């Protein structure tokens, strides 16, 4: 058996950037006075967050947190591992969680629960992508860039086994296994 893969552009760069600008405008309108504290779920959401930050045009406080329900493959492992949150203190504050993609919903549910348990005033979620058909845990998503079908995507910060994050587009990654010598 040999493994091969193919790429298909789902969202080109200008489409993504236009939508990120719109999301930043909505967030800005929803927080006219006090800015929320931004928490970026790394590594995947860094590129999305960088563009959001540019368009938010506010001096917001930003932190990064590592959380993942994925290993190195393309299916969820079921459990969410959350890393250190450093000196981030959310008690009494509004939190804006920035995520690349919501799939089963487990990661965002775990983070929201964690910050509410720490006394956050509210936790809102900005995600570039959402795969509603994959949801296992119901989660409220306040700012969604695009709803996409159940396909594994890479690019614009998202990876497959640590690769392809730097691609400017959102690309569907398809892996197929074919018997060696098959046409």
Q: Does residue 153 touch ligand IMP according to CB under 6 A? A: yes
Q: Judge whether 139 and 102 are in contact, CB under 8 Å.
A: yes
Is the CB of 68 or the CB of 85 nearer to ligand IMP? Answer: 68
Active site residue 103: yes
- E strands along the chain, which residues? 2-11, 37-42, 62-70, 76-82, 94-102, 122-130, 143-147, 153-154, 170-178
Is the CB of 27 or the CB of 139 nearer to ligand IMP? Answer: 139
Q: What's the closest the beta carbon of residue 117 comes to ligand IMP, in angstroms?
A: 18
Residues within window 23-82 making contact with ligand IMP, judged by CB under 6 A: 41, 44, 68-70, 76
- Per-residue tokens: 141: 């998503």
- CA atoms within 13 A of residue 26's CA, in its CB half-sphere: 15
Q: Judge whether 28 and 96 are in contact, CB under 8 Å.
A: no
Q: Spot the catalytic one: 12, 43, 87, 103.
A: 103
Binding mask 101-130 for ligand IMP (x = CB under 6 A): xxxxxxx-----------------------
Phi, psi for residue 2 in degrees, rounded to 5: -120, 145
Q: Which residues are catalytic?
A: 103
Residues that bind ligand IMP (CB under 6 A): 41, 44, 68-70, 76, 99-107, 152-154, 158
């Amino acid at each position: 058996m040999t493994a091969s893969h193919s790429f298909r552009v789902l969202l080109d760069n200008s489409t993504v950037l236009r939508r990120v600008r719109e999301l930043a405008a909505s967030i800005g309108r929803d927080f006219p006075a006090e800015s929320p504290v931004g928490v970026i779920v790394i590594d995947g959401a860094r590129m999305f967050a960088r563009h959001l930050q540019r368009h938010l045009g506010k001096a917001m406080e930003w932190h990064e947190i590592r959380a993942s329900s994925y290993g190195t493959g393309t299916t969820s492992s079921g459990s969410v591992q959350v890393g250190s949150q450093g000196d981030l203190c959310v008690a009494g504050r509004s939190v804006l969680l920035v995520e690349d993609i919501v799939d089963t919903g487990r990661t965002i549910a775990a983070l929201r629960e964690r910050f509410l348990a720490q006394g956050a005033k509210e936790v809102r979620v900005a995600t570039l992508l959402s795969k509603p058909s994959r949801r296992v845990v119901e989660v409220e998503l306040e700012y969604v860039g695009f709803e996409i079908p159940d396909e594994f995507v890479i690019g614009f910060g998202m990876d497959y086994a640590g690769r392809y994050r730097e691609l400017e587009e959102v690309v569907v990654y398809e892996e197929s296994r074919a018997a060696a010598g098959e046409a």
